[in-house]
Structures are given as C-alpha cells and as structure tokens.
Structure 1
Amino acid sequence: MAYDVDVGSVRDALEALPAAALVALAEVLDVLERAPWSGDPLVDRNPDGAVRTMTFAGTGLVTYVIVEHLGRVDLLQLHWAG
C-alpha cells in the first residue's frame, strides 16, 4: 500500500531548508510513502503508536502521524539544526 504524505502543516519549515536538507528529506518522504511504520515511536511506552519520528541528514527530525484508515501520513513538525 502506498500512503499519501501531507506536508501542509510544515510548509514554512520546508521553505527554510537548505538544498542539501531538501534532498535528504525527499528520501525520508519516499520512505514514508512506502513504510511509515519504520519510524521510531514518539513515546517509547507506546511502541505501536501512530505518532512517529524519523531523522534525516544527521541534524533533521520529522514528526508525523499515520492515519491508517485514510492511507495518509501527516507531517506534524519539521526541525532542522544544521
């Protein structure tokens, strides 16, 4: 199953990323389309929770929620410390 990835709520943060970070984030988005459950759970005591995180480019972090019944992944936060 391929998931749709909604980046609407992090659009401002996306526009502020440098080119190298955008390339790395594009790779993460590709993974989220195919295997969003491969990210780390946001809360360790809830390992099956739908809110998850994934790192990118060594200093980036994306937090997202998997809306399984809609086949969608919604990005919630995007952090870049590079």
Structure 2
Amino acid sequence: MTDSRVRDQIRALPAEALPMIAEAMSVLELTPWNGRPYNAAEPDGWMRHLDLHEGRGFLTYLVLEDQDRVDVLNVTWFG
C-alpha cells in the first residue's frame, strides 16, 4: 500500500526507474523482511529499506505483519 505522496514520488521518477520499482514491489509482496533494518540498532524492527537495482535508490517501508500489509513510506532515487 502506498499513500498519495508516495504515488506522486513514483510518478516523478524517470521511466528507467519504473521497472525497478515494480520489481521491488513484487519483492515486498513476497519477502518484506528481506530489506535491511531502518535502524541498525533494531535488526527486527518493522521499518525497513529495500535497495533498488545497483544502488540507484531505495524504498523505505513498514511491515505490518499483524495486518498482512506493507506500507511504502518513501521512495529515494539517486538516478
């Protein structure tokens, strides 16, 4: 799930980033815990980062396991 701010971030990305975002969203659907912890001091924390292809950016997201849901909070793109 994404909110309108994240959808706006995705719309602003260059076309080359869209397949990477789609792949990352697929990963989040299947294995959301594979992302690295947002806070290294909390390795089991619910907030995570998932790197995009070749370090070109990352998604920050929240795993809401009790709701069987993942919320994307931010998209960072380095290009």
TM value normalised by structure 1: 0.88
Distance 1:73 1:28 in 2: 12
Secondary structure of 2:70's match?
A: strand
Q: How many residues align?
A: 77
Q: For structure 2, which runs of at least 5 residues remain unmatched after alignment?
A: none
- Could you say which residue in structure 1 is the equivalent of 2:67? 70
Secondary structure of 2:51's match?
A: strand
Moved over 2 A (4+): none
- Could you say which residue in structure 1 is the equivalent of 2:56? 59
Matches for 1:33-48 after TM superposition, within 5 Å: 33-48=29-44
Secondary structure of 2:10's match?
A: helix
Question: Once the two structures are aligned, what percentage of the paired residues are identical?
Answer: 43
Distance 1:79 1:7 in 2: 14
**One-letter code aligned to 2:28:** L
Compute the RMSD of aligned alpha carbons: 0.9
TM value normalised by structure 2: 0.91
Q: Can you list the C-alpha shifts for 1:49-79, whole angstroms capped at 9, x where unaligned? A: 0000011133211100000111000001111
Greater length-normalized contact order (CA 8 Å, ≥ 6 residues apart):
1
- Could you say which residue in structure 2 is the equivalent of 1:3? none
Distance 2:17 2:52 in 1: 8
Once the two structures are TM-superposed, the CA of residue 12 in structure 1 deviates from its matched residue by 0.9
Q: 1:19 aligns with which of 15, 21, 26?
A: 15
